[in-house]
Amino acid sequence: MNTASLIIAEVPYWGQSLLRVLGGLVAVLLPAGTIVYLFLFKMMSFMQSRLGPMEAGPYGSMQLFAEVGKWLQKEDIYPARADKFIFKLAPLIVLASTFLLVVVVPFGPDAWFTNFEAGIFYALAVSSVSVLGILIAGWSSANKYSLLGGLRAAGQLIAYELPMVLAVIGVVIQAGTMNLQGIVLAQNSGSMFGFDGLGNPYVLTQFVGFVIFMISVQAELTQAPFDMPVAESELVSGYMTEYSGFRFLIFFIGEFATAGVFAMIASVLFLGGWAVPFSWFGWTTMDSVDNWMNFAGPLILFTKMMVIMFLVMWVRFSYPRLREDQLQRFAWKVLIPISLVNIMLTAILKVAF
Amino acid sequence: MPKVPGLFKGLGVTLGTFARTVTQGANTVQYPHEKETPPIRSRGVIALHEGNCTSCMLCARSCPDWCIYIEGHKELAPPRRAGGKPRQVNMLDRFDIDYALCMYCGICVDVCPFDALFWSPEYEYSEPSIADMLHDKVKLGEWMETVPEAPELEVGADKKGKK
């Protein structure tokens, strides 16, 4: 037991709970805010040869606070024929699934919220809860555009859940564990063909799985080119049409916080998570990792998350929207067969080596 | 599959624009801080040369959305030659253009037979209150200072006027 866990052990239970809640808020809101400012505001503008927000704060860095202030001022409207209780519940379900998702992400050797044995299984299961929120948001709005958007979202998220799970199975076979901490350990203490200077990041050895996982994440997050559920030009923002003010804000935070958490999970699965290759510092097991990784780990994970988010947003700003049938055909006829073949090959190679 | 090279090419285009914006700056300008001068003959605002106006109402009648308001009365002016009858002239009491309605088609400028209306490239006259978008003849007259000189006629152009 090293010092960090000793410090934690001396804090009373309510203090630990408070720390966990604060940590969860930071782990969800900080990536979301950074993603929105750096990528949605700035990178998108640069890719369109404009500067984006420049007035609020230096280089518009306070723009998000201005936007949040604007949303908080707005009237909380709901349609007359809406199912009010469910209508108000929907954004909370979407946000709750994000918070449930972040609890399994490991940030350091001892810096985690929970350390499930079946961590990645739990993450994939909980990420589908947000479909419920989106579906009931579309249904309870009493608006045909919202209903169409909600149904599209349900169809899309179910279709892309499958290649995502199948892509993860390759990683799980290679690591031999479903525990996210174990996957980090397997990547960073592993070696590729005897060379251990880079560890064994699965982005190299599971590249097909990585590509399929990233495409599925793109679709799960309803980012362009898979943004038919929100499709502002044809469905007037789909399931979010009737939401305004604070509830829209929750949807907005939920969208980008989920993007951040998914990027964290992707970097844990494929880029080695919070750790650097263990051979750099002569570590071999999880217990031998130095204590300072509990502080450096979150920063490393954050950097890797930013790399993944850059890819997601780059694709988002480059491609036009697919058609609904193209989307379904792509998932069922292309991604799922490829990922099945990938699983088979991974299993064969795992046994062979 | 044949579409794959195009997908990467598209990613390259956005990344290229991204890099160009970071290194060489954006194509846009930050409007209130730096301003672009519009082309000299752009349609910013319509100016009124009051002395030329005979309140003939042609502009008001040709305006597609009726945003020009003209009121006038007749007066007797002294005769041109001694012993003649006093002349009847139209005096302009009110000439308003409602820029909240105006759609900048320029028909009034074209239709004016006495060169009383001119285009000016000035564009910064937005107001917090919509009622202030109604410019009266004093304000329209002030825009005359911003009207650019008419360009030289082309060589061989048929010059109207007294022969």
CA distances from A299 to A140, A179, A267, A275 (A): 40, 21, 13, 10
CA distances from B66 to A273, B60, B73, B113, B134 (A): 67, 6, 20, 19, 13
Instruction: With H, G, I as helix, E, B as strand and everything else as coil, classify residue A30.
Output: helix
pLDDT, tens digit, for every residue of B29-41? 888 888 888 888 8
CA distance A198 to A191: 7
- The answer to whether A310 contacts chain B (CB < 8 Å) is no
CA distance A254 to A64: 15
Which pLDDT score, from 0 to 100, does residue A2 have? 46
- The answer to whether B22 contacts chain A (CB < 8 Å) is yes
My answer on whether omega of the bond before A225 falls inside 30° of 0, hence cis, is: yes
CA distance A297 to A305: 12
Q: What is the architecture, at CATH level 2, of domain B45-150?
A: 2-Layer Sandwich (3.30)
- DSSP letter at A55 equals S
Which pLDDT score, from 0 to 100, does residue A8 have? 57
Low-confidence residues in chain B, pLDDT < 50 = none
- By CB atoms closer than 10 A (0-12, 13-18, 19+), residue A78 is middle
CA distance A343 to A351: 12
CA distance B143 to B163: 32
Which pLDDT score, from 0 to 100, does residue B62 have? 92
Return the exposure string of B40-56: e unless at least 16 CB atoms fall within 10 Å of the residue's CB, then b.
eeeebbbbbbeeebebb
Amino acid symbol at B15: L
- The answer to whether B24 contacts chain A (CB < 8 Å) is no
Q: CB neighbours (10 Å) of residue A122? A: 18
Mutation to test the B interface, candidates A43, A49, A315, A330, most B Cβ within 10 Å: A49
- Residues, chain B: 163
Scan residues 177-216 of A and list those with Cβ closer than 8 Å to B: none
- Residue in chain B lying closest to A312 (CA): B11
Query: How close A58 comes to chain B (CA, Å)?
Result: 14
Query: What is the secondary structure of B23-69 as a DSSP string?
Result: HH--SS--TTTS-PPPPTT---EEEE-GGG-----HHHHH-TT--EE
Which pLDDT score, from 0 to 100, does residue B160 have? 66
The domain limits of chain A are 3-352
Scan residues 27-56 of B and list those with Cβ closer than 8 Å to A: 27-28, 30
Query: What is the secondary structure of A60-94 as a DSSP string?
Result: GTTHHHHHHHHHHHS-----TTS-HHHHHHHHHHH
Low-confidence residues in chain A, pLDDT < 50 = 1-3, 6
- Please report residues of A whose CB lies closer than 8 A to that of B13: 318
Which pLDDT score, from 0 to 100, does residue A3 have? 47
pLDDT, tens digit, for every residue of A188-224? 877 766 676 677 788 778 888 899 999 998 888 888 7
The domain limits of chain B are 45-150
- Is residue A146 within 8 Å of A241, Cβ to Cβ? yes
Q: Which has the closest alpha carbon to A201: A308, A341, A50?
A: A308
Which pLDDT score, from 0 to 100, does residue B69 have? 92
